[in-house]
Chain A
Amino acid sequence: MQLRWSRVAPQLALAPAVAVTMVAFIGAIGWTVWLSFTRSRRMPEYEIDWTDWTRQYARLFNDGGWAISLQNLIILGLGSALAIVFGFVLAAMIDREWRGESFFRTVFLYPLAVSLIVTGAAWRWIFNPQLGLENFLHGLGFTSVSFNWLASPDTAMYAIILASIWQSSGFYMALMLAGLKSINTEIWSAARLDGVSFWRLYIEIIIPMMKFTFITCAILLSLGVIKAYDVVVAMTNGGPGNSTWVPAYFTINALSAKSNIGYASAAAITMLVITALIFLPLVLITAWQQRRANGGGA
């Protein structure tokens, strides 16, 4: 009696989660894939014209706005990667110098508590040409300095990158600190006795030992970059023109502003493919690294 009940009960308990997964995730993905092959515009159509079933994707790849979105995705990714470097540097310093550790960690992490809309609002204000930082610098005498990044299509993305770095460096710092603390203290002692220079120690020993942490950060960063939407809305709303469009923004724009369901679906599925292409190899590397690390020594 007991055995039978204990077979059924967990499966029953899992049923809601399974249902949600099947409907809201798997089913929804399938739905969107289907739609991406149709001609749906404001209203969904479920008939696929098999003579031209990739028309949405063809249109997508010829769309200048999409090309800009992809470009910005890469720019945002590379720029935001600085947050990982910055986070590592902060973590390394805090790890070395125990004084004030708790104070600095609190300061570096608080941006995570705040919405990206708030972050965008704050930085948008700072970038205000007449009344913001640029004006301040001019007032100090640096009249040739231009900090009006949001106004020009060439530099608007950099402003967004700066805001992203501000928001996320603390997070990577926290991950790096955890990674640093997992390094056996005797390694530090051995290095002191070996007389290894500061740089060599970090570059040849510590950073290689933290490969797993770095890759984890890279995965999280890429996922964050693909999802980037809020900060773009708050800082530029895609502008000037469409110079700060990113794939997430493009997709939502296609759905809400252009009311083109089929097109938006194609963009969304492409986003999914991009996510899979980034996510799969990185996760494989991580699993491989972890297996090696577990086989490794102290």
Chain B
Amino acid sequence: MTMITQAATLEDAANALPTQRGPFFPRKKKRIAGRSIAILVFLTICALFFCVPLYVVVVTSFKTMDQIREGAIFSLPHVWTLEAWDHAWNKACSGINCNGLKVGFWNSVLILFPSLILSIALSIVTGYALALWNVRWANAFLFLLFICAFVPFQVIMYPLIRITASIGIYGTLWGIAAVHAVLAMPVLTLIFRNYYKDIPQEIIRAAIIDSGSFWRIFIEIILPMSGNILIVVLILQITSIWNDYLIGVTFGGLGTQPMTVILANLITVSTGVVAYNDNMAAALLTAIPPLVIYFLVGKFFVQGITAGAIKG
């Protein structure tokens, strides 16, 4: 190709010379635009709106009832005391049982494990099969799952009660766990299926040629690739199960109620003297585990929530 000849002018020659460092034209100090400040102020006020309830709960939980009766809800405790925390954990009354929130805590934990295993095991395999294998009725089933994800719990509540009762798990931790797994299956399956759909076809074809078997491909190839989505789903499910109330109250028996149910019983008591500091401590105790997860792995948390939402 023709060369570009250099038509050098004096100015261009100057370009080739090493230049002295600036500043050539003293620039105005860059002001933070007025608009930026307005935005930041507005956002900060909104942040306050979101933080105030948390602040109030924390502060109230460390006060004594005497100070609470003074009525200054935003004031810091005169004396920081763990009295309410201890009371809530050990002695709070849910109905006739006064064994505290700790019963609920352990129940919630015990519900979590089988429920996670059941729901994730079922959904991940189903999602894998639907995404990567040719089954003639796959699309119809997928559509059905999509519909099921929107069915209100109340519609299947009574039948589920009867079914769990007839299997003998009604009122047990396993019963609660099983119901959680059943209800989560549509959404989780859709999430896994969409994730696996994005795996390039070549990898699957290569895997089929290499080993061919449904289960081997799953265990040796797909599962190792699923780290990311598994974390997201785990966080989504843990939060959802821990914070659930409806399933817990419907399928929980006297000794098997999760923490949220005990908390609800606590705060809706209308007779007698209400111990607000106990209530707030109880609320905090119930909220701390998922909050810890949130602050530690917030990014996956957000992914989980939005993944659970945009399942279509």
Contacts and interface: CB of A to CB of B under 8 A. Distances in A.
Contacts of A252: 154, 157, 246, 250
Interface in A1-33: 2, 5-6, 9-11, 13-14, 16-18, 20-21, 23-29, 31-32
Contacts of B93: none
B122 interface: yes
A interface, by DSSP: helix, strand, loop or mixed?
A: helix
Interface residues of A, number: 94
Nearest to A254: B154
Given A10-B214, A108-B50, A125-B56, A29 B151 contact: yes
Contacts, number: 264
Contact of A104 (B47, B135, B154, B155): B47
Interface stretch (B195-203, B225-233, B288-296): B288-296
B141 A14 contact: yes
A17 B127 CA distance: 10
Interface string A230-260: 1001100100000000001001100100000
Nearest to A172: B309
Given A113-B293, A121-B283, A227 B260 contact: no
B80 interface: no
Interface in A89-119: 90, 93-94, 96-97, 99-100, 104-119
Interface of B: 36, 39-40, 42-43, 46-47, 49-51, 53-54, 56-57, 60, 68-69, 71-74, 122-123, 125-126, 128-130, 133-135, 141, 144-145, 148, 150-160, 162-163, 182, 185-186, 189, 208, 212-215, 239, 242-246, 250, 260, 263-264, 267-268, 276, 279-280, 282-283, 286-287, 290-291, 293-295, 298, 301-302, 305-306, 309-310, 312
Ordered nearest first, which 9 A-B pairs have the shortest CB separation?
A: A9-B214, A115-B243, A28-B159, A28-B156, A113-B294, A10-B133, A17-B126, A10-B129, A122-B53
11 contacts: A10-B133, A28-B156, A28-B159, A109-B298, A112-B294, A113-B287, A113-B294, A125-B276, A125-B280, A268-B155, A279-B150
Interface of A: 2, 5-6, 9-11, 13-14, 16-18, 20-21, 23-29, 31-32, 35, 44, 90, 93-94, 96-97, 99-100, 104-126, 128, 130-133, 135-136, 139, 166, 170-171, 174-175, 178, 216, 220, 223, 226-227, 229-230, 233-234, 237, 248, 251-252, 255, 261, 264-265, 267-269, 271-272, 275, 279, 283, 286
Given A128-B276, A166-B49, A234-B267, 19 more contacts: A5-B212, A16-B122, A18-B141, A24-B159, A28-B160, A35-B158, A99-B40, A100-B43, A112-B305, A114-B243, A117-B243, A122-B56, A122-B280, A125-B280, A175-B310, A230-B264, A233-B268, A251-B154, A272-B155
